[in-house]
C-alpha cells in the first residue's frame, strides 16, 4: 500500500519526463492502488487486515503488477504516440510494486502482513519489510515524499530558466 512514497516517486519522475503533466505522473504511480480500489468494490480484493494476511494479488502480485505496467505503457503509447513517454509511464506504474516490495511486510501497521505475492493466492510472498518499524515507515514515506518534492521544485525551476533563455 505505502501511501506517500509513491507520490514522491511520481514528483521526482518529472525530472526525466518534463513534458508529461504531473497529474498523469501521479495517476501512473498509483495505478496499482486504483486497480485495487476497483477490485475492492468488485469484492475480489480486501482492505488490509490487522491480524491476517491480505496480499491482494490481482492488483499487487508481481505478475499482475507487470501486466498492469505493460498495459499502462501500451495505453500511453496509443494516446501519446511517444515511445519514451510510454516507457516512463510503464516504469512509473511498476515503481509502485518496487516501493511496495521495499515496504512490505508492513508489520508496524498491519501485524499480519506477509508481503507481496509473486503470482496469486497461495504463491510465495516477498518483501524487504522496511515498514516493519515505525521509524522505517517515517523515513520511507516522508523521506521519499520530501525528496520527490525537492526534485520536482528544482525541475520546475530549471524548466523556467530554460524557457527564459530561449
Residue closer to Zn ion (CB basis): 1 or 11: 1
**How many residues of this chain bind Zn ion (CB under 5 A)?**
2
* Binding region for Zn ion (CB under 5 A) out of 26-34, 47-55, 76-84, 142-150: 26-34
Torsion 12-133-111-114 (CA) sign: positive
Question: What mask of x and - would describe binding to Zn ion in positions 31 to 60, judged by CB under 5 A?
Answer: --x---------------------------
For residues 150 and 12, give the distance between their C-alpha atoms in angstroms, rounded to a whole number.
8
CA distances from 33 to 16, 57, 162 (A): 23, 12, 35
Q: 13, 4, 12: which is closest to 90 by C-alpha? A: 13
Is residue 31 within 8 A of residue 75, CB to CB? The reply is no
- Of 137 and 155, the one with the shorter C-beta distance to Zn ion is 137
User: Closest separation between CB of residue 70 and Zn ion, Å?
Assistant: 18
By the rule CB under 5 A, 1 interacts with Zn ion: yes
Interface residues toward Zn ion, by CB under 5 A: 1, 33
Amino acid at each position: 500500500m505505502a501511501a506517500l512514497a509513491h507520490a514522491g516517486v511520481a514528483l521526482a519522475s518529472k525530472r526525466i519526463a518534463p513534458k508529461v503533466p504531473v497529474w498523469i505522473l501521479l495517476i501512473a504511480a498509483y495505478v496499482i492502488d486504483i486497480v485495487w480500489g476497483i477490485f475492492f468494490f468488485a469484492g475480489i480484493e480486501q482492505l488490509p487486515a490487522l491480524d491476517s494476511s491480505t496480499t491482494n494479488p490481482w492488483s499487487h502480485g508481481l505478475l499482475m503488477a507487470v501486466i498492469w505496467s505493460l498495459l499502462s505503457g501500451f495505453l500511453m503509447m496509443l494516446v501519446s504516440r511517444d515511445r519514451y513517454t510510454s516507457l516512463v509511464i510503464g516504469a512509473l506504474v511498476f515503481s509502485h510494486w518496487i516501493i511496495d516490495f521495499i515496504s512490505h511486510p508492513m508489520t508496524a501497521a498491519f501485524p499480519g502482513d506477509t508481503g507481496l505475492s509473486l503470482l496469486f493466492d497461495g504463491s510465495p510472498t516477498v518483501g524487504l519489510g522496511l515498514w516493519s518499524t515505525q521509524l522505517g515507515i517515517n523515513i520511507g514515506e516522508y523521506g521519499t515524499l520530501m525528496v520527490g518534492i525537492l526534485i520536482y521544485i528544482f525541475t520546475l525551476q530549471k524548466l523556467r530558466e530554460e524557457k527564459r533563455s530561449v
